[in-house]
Amino acid sequence: MGALRQTQGVETKHKLSNTLRNWLPILHSSLSDLGEAMTPFVEANPVIEVKSGFEEDFEKKIPRKIISRGVSNSRTEQIEALTIQSRTLYDVLDEQIGAPLFPTPVSQRVALYVIENLDEYGYYDGNTEEFCQKNSIDRETFEKIRLRFLHVEPVGIGAKNLAESFLFQLDNSEISDQAYSLAVKIINDMQNIHAYSKEECFNEVMHVLSTFKNPPNIEYQEDSAQIIPDLMIYFNDEQQIEVKLNDAYYPVINIDTSYGVEHEFVRQKIKEAKSLVDALDMRKATLYKVGLMIVEYQYEFFTGGQIMPLTLKTLADEFGHNPSTISRAIANKYIACDRGVLAMKEFFTTAIDEDVSNAAIKEFLIGLIKNESHEKPLSDMKLLALIEEKFKVKMVRRTIAKYRKQLNIAGSSERKKLYKLGV
């Protein structure tokens, strides 16, 4: 194993200081939005001068070693780390038009029409009748194909309304079988939601519903936003893994001390300006420490392996914070490495068991499907049995179905039809 070398002389602190507590927006914002988060403090302080960190080309700030190794990855396509990742909703959807969800010309034509007729919130708003007549497709066939958007990411896209979008998301959720039927009733009767408050699983349903995206395209409503990684992780010439802050993108704060410090107002503004500088340093220190811990727990991933189980609570315990604080700290933060530009949250996977992550289960599931008999594809129950045998864990069929849908893998009967079509 290569040695871990710390290249940043950033002081890490165990507890959030008062400075960071006062400037939480700086910690929570993405690197590309950092300047905007600082604006209210800067505009109210005449002694602060800020130079933007976006004036230089992004590609000059990323170590070329990040793309030098080219480690293969079955989880995610390699993304060239010397470019700014900016994928629109339509880029993401276009990549999913094809097998197994839309293997035929007809299904692809319907899928394209649905995508072209999404409204500003991501709901389908096309003229189905006109399309069906023009393309000699019956309405029932059109609807069957449109409903395959249940398995498209982001989940909820292509639904006709909020209720259907929530039903799409419900089938991709972790809700228990017992609470599922109640959730369907509540989603179809949202106006009378409180009438179900006495039901046994009401709290579980409300918790699950609170995690749903509303509207379904909410993550893509600012398509032009640039994704700038906070950290770069790569192997140097000595095969040592390095964690480097993308601090060249941080705004530079200059404090003008030419004002008369004898005035209380000026002294207070200088103190506030120094607190802003401290807050930026604390942001760097916090994220750098997160990067070091990700390398420690996910070293196998950076050498071409799988992402291992890692929970926010693990990091929270190390920091001495609440998991919700860590969750907000890593939100909208990215890491550039030789396997792509990845969201920090991707490194935190649910542990099915102490040493088994859901990512490992999905990898194994993909392998099973690739090698299955085309005459007799594996059912979800058979997949469940093979996974339980392999990993020595207990799961439910519903979880297997959920993972399969997340991976855009059709059910066994649908796969059998696709195999017969030669897909």
Distance from C-alpha of 81 to C-alpha of 59, rounded to nearest angstrom = 8
User: What's the pLDDT score for residue 276?
Assistant: 84
> What's the confidence (pLDDT) of residue 132?
93
Residue whose token pair is 């066994």: 412
Tens of pLDDT, residue by residue over 258-317, are 766 677 887 888 888 888 888 888 888 888 988 998 988 888 888 877 777 777 778 888
The domain limits of the chain are: 4-71+225-308+322-347, 90-220, 351-420
Q: Count CB neighbours of 283 within 10 A.
A: 24
Residue 200 sits at φ, ψ, to 5 deg, of: -60, -40
CATH superfamily membership of 351-420: Homeodomain-like (1.10.10.60)
Residue, of 85 and 180, whose pLDDT is higher: 180
**Model pLDDT for residues 65-82, shown as the tens digit of each residue:** 443 444 333 333 333 332
Q: Residue 79 to residues 117, 129, 294, 337, 340: CA-CA distances in angstroms?
A: 29, 40, 20, 9, 4
Pick from 213-217, 238-242, 356-360, 390-394: least confident: 356-360
Which residue has better confidence, 5 or 239?
A: 239
What is the average pLDDT value for the chain, to the nearest integer?
Answer: 77
**Structure tokens, 216:** 């379904």
Give the position of tokens 């390398």: 295
Please return the burial class of 150, using the count of CB atoms within 10 Å of its CB with bins 0-12, 13-18 and 19+: buried
Does the structure show a pLDDT above 50 at 148? yes
Indicate the residue type of 95.
E
Contacts of range 178-185, beta carbons closer than 8 Å, 24 or more positions apart: 179/204, 179/205, 179/208, 183/208, 183/209
In sign, the C-alpha dihedral spanning 385, 390, 392, 393 is negative
Most distant pair of Cα atoms in the chain: their distance: 86
CA distance 178 to 108: 36
Sequence-ordered list of residues with C-beta below 8 angstroms from that of 164, at least 6 positions apart, any chain:
none
State the pairing for strand pair 334-337/340-343: antiparallel
Looking at residue 422, its pLDDT comes to 60
Q: Does the global pTM surpass 0.75?
A: no
Task: Give the β-pairing of 340-343 and 241-245.
Answer: unpaired
Among 202, 207, 173, 171, smallest CA distance to 189 is for 202
415 three-state secondary structure: helix
Question: Are 199 and 311 a contacting pair, CB within 8 Å?
Answer: no
Angle at 406 between CA 205 and CA 337, to 5 degrees: 115
Show Cβ contacts of residue 372 under 8 Å, excluding neighbours closer than 6 positions.
378, 415
Which DSSP string do the residues of 216-258 spell out, in sequence order? TTGGGSSTT--B--SEEEEE-TTS-EEEEE-GGGSPEEEE---
